[in-house]
Amino acid sequence: MTVQTETTTTTTTETTDIYSAPFIKELIRSIQAQDAYGVYKSWSPELILKPYIVSKQDKRKISTEEEVNPMTIARIKLFYNAIATSIELETNQIMQVVISINHEGFGWALVFCGRLLVVSRTLRDAHRFGFTSLEKLEDEGEKMSQAGIELVKKYKEVCKL
């Protein structure tokens, strides 16, 4: 990651720095918005996003027998909050986020507006929520946001119900 940061300081316009990707910025903002005590204020973006990166090996170590960790649920919520705000910025429509996870780690992540389900994802093994790399995280968040934006544009009428 340090190598990447170094290159971005030399090339100014076409930055390859993942931390300047719109979705990553939105996710950091969504995490900082919940930071009532200013804990993250001095943290680097890398450190703030670190809990989102879980290798396949690490995932296997997380037991799915117990309750889903409340911190993991909070992370899922903030991830979908970032998707919701990304969609809001583009569409000017206010989104609602509902995360519903049962004791077995199954459930739904829903982002909606009026009667339109803008994002609808079934969750399973929520205990092990995470991405193998920051690039994967950015890619998935960005894709879901874009798909949501398209949907809002196509079904604006349903969104306004």
| Residues at the site binding a copy of itself, with contacts judged by CB under 8 A | 96, 98-100, 107-108, 110, 112, 114-118, 120, 151, 155, 158, 161
The per-residue b/e assignment along 55-88, b for 16 or more CB within 10 angstroms, e otherwise, is: eeeeeeebeeeeebeeebbebbbbbbbbbbbbbb
Could you give the 3-state DSSP secondary structure of residue 53? Answer: strand
Give the integer Cα–Cα distance in Å for 82 and 60.
27
Query: At closest approach, how far in Å is the CB of 96 from a copy of itself?
Result: 8
Nearer to a copy of itself, 18 or 68 (CB): 68
Nearer to a copy of itself, 49 or 110 (CB): 110
Q: Work out how close the CB of 117 gets to a copy of itself at its nearest, in angstroms, rounded to a whole number.
A: 4
Looking at beta carbons only, is 29 or 115 nearer to a copy of itself? Answer: 115
Q: How far is the CB of 125 from a copy of itself (least distance, A)?
A: 18
Separate counts of helices (H) and strands (E) for the chain = 7, 3
**Secondary element (H or E) of residue 109:** strand 107-113
CB closer to a copy of itself out of 107 and 141: 107
